Protein backbone atom coordinates (compact mmCIF):
# COMPACT_ATOMS: atom_id res chain seq x y z
CA UNK A 1 0.00 0.00 0.00
CA UNK A 2 2.87 2.39 0.80
CA UNK A 3 4.45 1.87 -2.60
CA UNK A 4 1.08 2.39 -4.30
CA UNK A 5 0.44 5.68 -2.48
CA UNK A 6 3.90 6.99 -3.31
CA UNK A 7 3.64 5.72 -6.88
CA UNK A 8 0.32 7.46 -7.42
CA UNK A 9 1.70 10.80 -6.24
CA UNK A 10 4.88 10.43 -8.31
CA UNK A 11 3.01 9.53 -11.49
CA UNK A 12 0.61 12.46 -11.11
CA UNK A 13 3.46 14.93 -10.59
CA UNK A 14 5.40 13.50 -13.53
CA UNK A 15 2.37 13.96 -15.77
CA UNK A 16 1.90 17.52 -14.49
CA UNK A 17 5.52 18.36 -15.33
CA UNK A 18 5.16 16.87 -18.81
CA UNK A 19 2.12 18.99 -19.67
CA UNK A 20 3.41 22.16 -17.98
CA UNK A 21 6.62 22.44 -19.99
CA UNK A 22 6.85 23.33 -23.71
CA UNK A 23 6.72 20.80 -26.54
CA UNK A 24 9.49 20.17 -29.07
CA UNK A 25 11.99 18.72 -26.62
CA UNK A 26 11.21 16.41 -23.70
CA UNK A 27 11.76 19.11 -21.06
CA UNK A 28 9.28 17.55 -18.64
CA UNK A 29 11.01 14.18 -18.65
CA UNK A 30 14.40 15.83 -18.26
CA UNK A 31 13.12 17.94 -15.35
CA UNK A 32 11.62 15.01 -13.45
CA UNK A 33 14.63 12.79 -14.05
CA UNK A 34 17.03 15.44 -12.74
CA UNK A 35 14.80 16.37 -9.79
CA UNK A 36 14.27 12.69 -8.99
CA UNK A 37 18.01 12.02 -9.13
CA UNK A 38 18.61 14.85 -6.67
CA UNK A 39 15.85 13.57 -4.37
CA UNK A 40 17.13 9.99 -4.49
CA UNK A 41 20.64 11.24 -3.72
CA UNK A 42 19.20 13.04 -0.68
CA UNK A 43 17.18 10.01 0.39
CA UNK A 44 20.05 7.54 0.14
CA UNK A 45 22.56 9.85 1.79
CA UNK A 46 20.09 10.55 4.59
CA UNK A 47 19.67 6.82 5.18
CA UNK A 48 23.43 6.35 5.19
CA UNK A 49 24.38 9.32 7.36
CA UNK A 50 21.53 10.07 9.75
CA UNK A 51 18.92 7.37 9.38
CA UNK A 52 16.15 9.62 10.65
CA UNK A 53 13.72 8.47 8.01
CA UNK A 54 12.34 5.05 8.77
CA UNK A 55 12.08 2.10 6.42
CA UNK A 56 8.44 2.89 5.64
CA UNK A 57 9.22 6.49 4.69
CA UNK A 58 12.04 5.32 2.42
CA UNK A 59 9.67 2.78 0.86
CA UNK A 60 7.02 5.42 0.12
CA UNK A 61 9.50 8.00 -1.11
CA UNK A 62 12.10 5.89 -2.89
CA UNK A 63 10.34 2.83 -4.22
CA UNK A 64 6.91 4.43 -4.56
CA UNK A 65 7.17 8.12 -5.32
CA UNK A 66 10.57 8.45 -7.01
CA UNK A 67 10.26 5.32 -9.12
CA UNK A 68 7.00 6.67 -10.57
CA UNK A 69 8.15 10.28 -10.71
CA UNK A 70 11.27 9.52 -12.75
CA UNK A 71 11.02 7.59 -15.98
CA UNK A 72 13.55 5.73 -18.05
CA UNK A 73 11.07 4.23 -20.50
CA UNK A 74 9.57 7.60 -21.47
CA UNK A 75 13.08 9.04 -21.76
CA UNK A 76 14.05 6.19 -24.13
CA UNK A 77 10.93 6.49 -26.32
CA UNK A 78 11.12 10.29 -26.50
CA UNK A 79 14.83 10.16 -27.34
CA UNK A 80 14.24 7.65 -30.13
CA UNK A 81 11.68 10.02 -31.68
CA UNK A 82 14.06 13.01 -31.76
CA UNK A 83 16.34 14.10 -34.57
CA UNK A 84 19.86 12.68 -34.05
CA UNK A 85 21.37 15.92 -32.73
CA UNK A 86 18.52 16.51 -30.28
CA UNK A 87 18.58 12.84 -29.28
CA UNK A 88 22.27 13.10 -28.41
CA UNK A 89 21.63 16.30 -26.46
CA UNK A 90 18.78 14.63 -24.56
CA UNK A 91 20.89 11.60 -23.62
CA UNK A 92 23.80 13.78 -22.55
CA UNK A 93 21.55 16.10 -20.54
CA UNK A 94 19.67 13.30 -18.76
CA UNK A 95 22.80 11.41 -17.78
CA UNK A 96 25.09 14.35 -16.98
CA UNK A 97 22.49 16.41 -15.14
CA UNK A 98 21.01 13.36 -13.40
CA UNK A 99 24.41 12.22 -12.18
CA UNK A 100 25.30 15.76 -11.05
CA UNK A 101 21.95 16.09 -9.29
CA UNK A 102 22.44 12.81 -7.42
CA UNK A 103 25.87 13.99 -6.28
CA UNK A 104 24.44 17.37 -5.29
CA UNK A 105 21.71 15.68 -3.25
CA UNK A 106 24.27 13.59 -1.41
CA UNK A 107 26.46 16.66 -0.85
CA UNK A 108 23.50 18.65 0.48
CA UNK A 109 22.77 15.99 3.09
CA UNK A 110 26.43 15.78 4.07
CA UNK A 111 26.52 19.57 4.47
CA UNK A 112 23.31 19.74 6.52
CA UNK A 113 24.17 16.67 8.59
CA UNK A 114 27.84 17.56 8.92
CA UNK A 115 27.60 18.75 12.50
CA UNK A 116 25.50 15.74 13.51
CA UNK A 117 27.81 13.22 11.86
CA UNK A 118 30.93 14.86 13.30
CA UNK A 119 29.48 14.89 16.82
Tell me the residue range of the domain where 46 lies: 2-118
- pLDDT over threshold 80, residue 119: no
Q: How many structural domains is the chain composed of?
A: 1
Share of the chain above pLDDT 70, in %: 96
- pLDDT over threshold 70, residue 36: yes
What separation in angstroms does the CA of 28 have from each of 70, 100, 116? Answer: 10, 18, 36
User: How far apart, in whole angstroms, are the C-alpha atoms of residue 57 and residue 100?
Assistant: 24
Per-residue confidence (pLDDT) for residue 114, from 0 to 100: 82
Amino acid sequence: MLVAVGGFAGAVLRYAAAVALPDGFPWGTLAVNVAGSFALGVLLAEAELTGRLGARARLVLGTGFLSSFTTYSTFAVQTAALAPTLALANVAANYALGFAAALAGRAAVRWVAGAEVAA
